[in-house]
Amino acid sequence: MLVATLLSASCASSRVPYTPPSPEAPPAFKENANWKAPEPRDSVLRGAWWEVFGDVPLNALESQIDISNQTLKGAEGAFAQARALVRGARAGLYPQVTAAPAVNAVRQSGNRAFSSFHDPFADILAPGDVSYEADVWGRVHSLVETNRTAAQASAADLETIRLSVHSELALDYFMLRGLDREEELLVRAVDAYERALELTQNRFRGGLVSQADVALAETQLESTRAQAVDIGVARAALEHAIALLVGQTASTFAIRPSPLLANPPDVPTGVPSDLLERRADVAGAERRLASANAQVGVTTAAYYPLLMLSGAAGFESSSFGSLLASASTFWTTGPAALITVFDAGKRRSAIEQARAGYDQAFASYREVVLSSFREVEDQLSALRILDEESKIQQNAVDASERSLTLATNRYRGGVTSYLEVITAQSAALSNERTAVEILTRRMSATVLLLKGLGGTWTASQMPAITGK
């Protein structure tokens, strides 16, 4: 039976060959079709991708993520579990040895068939059992491959979460800096409005303006003060969110105010085909596809006999004194095959389920690839449009400042009422705040572009998990 089984193994195997998918990638990003890499390529991302912003406090915060972020530690625990499953699956490739020593007091029934005595006696047993599944159909190897590729997918998930956490920190950080810039604008506006109120009160005391102008100046001043105070609500929430990301308590964590001033850096995008190598989520989806393919092999193996090679040897005696005597030895060995003759379609159902799982994994892989291209195109278009918008908005800021200067001079000369000054002040402050908002959005779009490009991770960093 053993020889026949081994010979038939050369003609049949449950292992399903796997060919990694080769998705079609466009030759260039639509929003970046004319992009050309700078020479020399000093802007190519190296190491920590957030360092491209050149922000020292941001770098210090990002360095704490890998040390203290609890979400990342949870993902590391999931990866460790996946690696342990690989080691457990690989154990099936080797013989299993067990020992079950026992001491029993026995009294057989006098009426038992083939029993010549019924006096009590001791039975001391010291056996050793060896069992081994001959993986002639590749079932165990397919199971190992299923767990190995699943563990690699878990490793890719870890890197995806790492990138997501670092990106979230950068987004919160630049939003906080944008609020600091807005608060600075509001504080400067409050100072200017205080001087304007003082001027209006002096003109009122001199009989040049009415009490209505003083009330308008006071209204403008106090409403702007309220806006400056209100900035603190959103800033505190962002500061607390950053504290959570770096693994610190919100009560003891603080970031010193510093307004956002720098423009976003240029980010080299490369070509779309590079994106498939740099995105950890794409790599993870591909590994899940490989795992689903291996699972088809595991279920297919159920159609073949399960061949077990087993043996037992040891000592058995009625007393410890004669336990190790040659007469107390026993052994048994031999192959055994388990063949499922009828299961009412259970195996076929399992195979259909595994193949459907493969189709699902393939669809998920394709969706991740398409989503990765979309995310990059989204941020490239956002950066292009926001850059154009920022230039137009700067023109609006300059025009509103000129309008405010003219309105103030006209009011000082008694040509117009304070309402014109109030209107010009509101327009100037609104345009300045809009410019800051656009700058913050440009920084956020740059962070999201770097995230969409996969940071600095590449598929070559995927661990080769062996289960050792």
- Residue 377: is it exposed, middle or buried by C-beta count within 10 angstroms (0-12/13-18/19+)? middle
User: Residue 99: is it exposed, middle or buried by C-beta count within 10 angstroms (0-12/13-18/19+)?
Assistant: exposed
Q: What is the CATH number of domain 13-94+138-303+348-461?
A: 1.20.1600.10
Taking residues 69-86, report their average pLDDT: 90
Residue 47: pLDDT band with limits 50, 70, 90: low
The predicted-structure confidence for 339-377, as pLDDT tens digits, reads as follows 888 889 889 999 999 999 999 999 999 999 999 999 999
What pLDDT digit, counting tens, does each position of 437-454 carry?
Answer: 999 999 999 999 999 999
Average pLDDT of 295-319?
87
Place of tokens 């020889």: 3
Contact between 440 and 178 (Cβ < 8 Å): yes
pLDDT > 60? residue 44: no
Please name the residues in contact with 40: beta carbons below 8 A apart, sequence gap of 6 or more: none
Query: pLDDT class for 41, splitting at 50, 70, 90?
Result: very low
Residue 42, pLDDT above cutoff 80:
no
pLDDT for residue 113: 66
Q: Specify which of 117-121, 314-318, 347-351, 415-419 reaches the highest per-range mean pLDDT.
A: 347-351
User: 126-153: per-residue pLDDT in tens?
Assistant: 888 888 888 888 888 888 889 999 999 9
Q: Rounded to an integer, what distance in angstroms lies between the CA atom of residue 228 and that of residue 392?
A: 26
H or E element at residue 136: none
Question: What CA–CA distance (Å, rounded) separates 256 from 57?
Answer: 10
Helix, strand or coil, per DSSP, at residue 259 = coil
The pLDDT score that the predictor gives to residue 36 is 42
The distance in angstroms from the start CA to the end CA of the chain is: 34
Listed residue (142, 171, 150) closest to 81, CA to CA: 150
Peptide bond into 257 cis (omega under 30): no
Where in 271-338 does DSSP place strands (E)? 306-317, 329-338
Whether 2 has a pLDDT exceeding 50, the answer reads no
| Closest to 177 measured CA to CA, from 355, 27, 58, 9 | 58
Query: Taking Cα atoms as reference points, which of 194, 176, 193 lies closest to residue 231?
Result: 176
Q: How far is CA 173 from CA 168, 235, 238, 267, in A?
A: 8, 10, 8, 19
pLDDT at 30 over 80: no
What length does the chain have? 468
Determine contact, residues 406/425, Cβ cutoff 8 Å: no
Do 387 and 332 touch, CB atoms closer than 8 A? no
Place 33 in a pLDDT band, splitting at 50, 70 and 90. Answer: low
Cα distance between residue 436 and residue 442, in whole Å: 10
Lowest average pLDDT, out of 238-247, 321-330, 393-402, goes to 321-330
- What kind and span of H or E run contains 121? strand 120-133
CB 188 within 8 A of CB 254: no
Per domain, the residue ranges of the chain are 13-94+138-303+348-461
* 258: pLDDT strictly greater than 70: yes
